[in-house]
Structure 1
Amino acid sequence: MTDSDQAGNNHVLPPTPPPAPPHSGAADGAPQPVPTNEAEALEIGRRHFPRLGSAGGPVGLSVHEFDIGYLIRAGWPRRENPTARPSQPGGSNVVIAKADGEVTFLPNYPPKEAVALYHRLRSRRTT
């Protein structure tokens, strides 16, 4: 008998994490596409958001180019009651690296803060 089978055991498992976002590289291990401009970065970024205008999807995507990548941000429709909690909290930004096309998901921060976070994350991986 395991500990969880014993009477009176009130262990609660943590919630299941959300599924990992889809990988942008080819399934056969081929290299990921590397964008050379904002339009190419936007095309790669589209794969990681619901279709524009779909139910629960963004109304637009924007690209913010910075020194080592492209930040893709989603624009969401205004809520009827801006003081109410969102029906689907969260959201993310997507960064596509200029060097290798690596896709990184970041919290839905304003561009300046998202880029600063991305720099911190990249510096940790290279040290």
Structure 2
Amino acid sequence: MAESDRTERHPGLPPTPPPIPPPAGGRDGTPQPVPTNADEALAIGRQHFPEVGSPGGPVELFVHECDLGYLIHAGWPPPADPTAPPAEPGGSNVVVSKSDGEVSFLPNFPPETAVELFHRSYRPKGA
């Protein structure tokens, strides 16, 4: 669709949203890094978390290796009031595939549960 087509207004329809930017890491034609060890996987995973030690950021990132990839999850400082609900619930784990470097996001489950979910949902590219 040409840029001039994007700005054309059609009565009764909302404006066309801007194009979605291409995803980073491999899908835009650049080679996807494939980790060969936990340190390389952690370097890839760091790109998906706030900086360690930054205000509101994690205190540490942990790596758990499994047969299909590396699970990276954040360790957060203990809350000031442990009985209060979390200020920002949610979060995610990041898994970097050993076979192709693909990055997947999983719910913030304990590592064993997240790895089990990854095993059930992961489909290598081309499979």
By the TM > 0.5 criterion, same fold? yes
1:31-46 equivalences in 2 (<5 Å): 31-46=31-46
Partner of 1:54: 54
The CA distance in 1 between the partners of 2:75 and 2:110, in whole Å, is: 12
Conserved? CA contact 1:69–1:95, under 8 Å? yes
Deviations 1:63-102 (A, max 9, x none): 0000010000100000011111111111110000000000
Partner of 2:73: 73
Shift of 1:31: 2.2
Matched length: 109
Partner of 2:84: 84
The CA distance in 2 between the partners of 1:115 and 1:124, in whole Å, is: 15
Partner of 2:115: 115
Partner of 2:103: 103
TM-score by length of 1: 0.76
Cα distance change, pair 111–57 in 1 and its aligned pair in 2 (3 A): same
Partner of 1:14: none
Task: Structure 2: state its 5+ residue gaps.
Answer: 1-10, 13-21
Cα distance change, pair 44–87 in 1 and its aligned pair in 2 (3 A): same
Task: Structure 1: state its 5+ residue gaps.
Answer: 3-21
The CA distance in 2 between the partners of 1:54 and 1:40, in whole Å, is: 22
TM-score by length of 2: 0.76
Percent identical among aligned pairs is 61
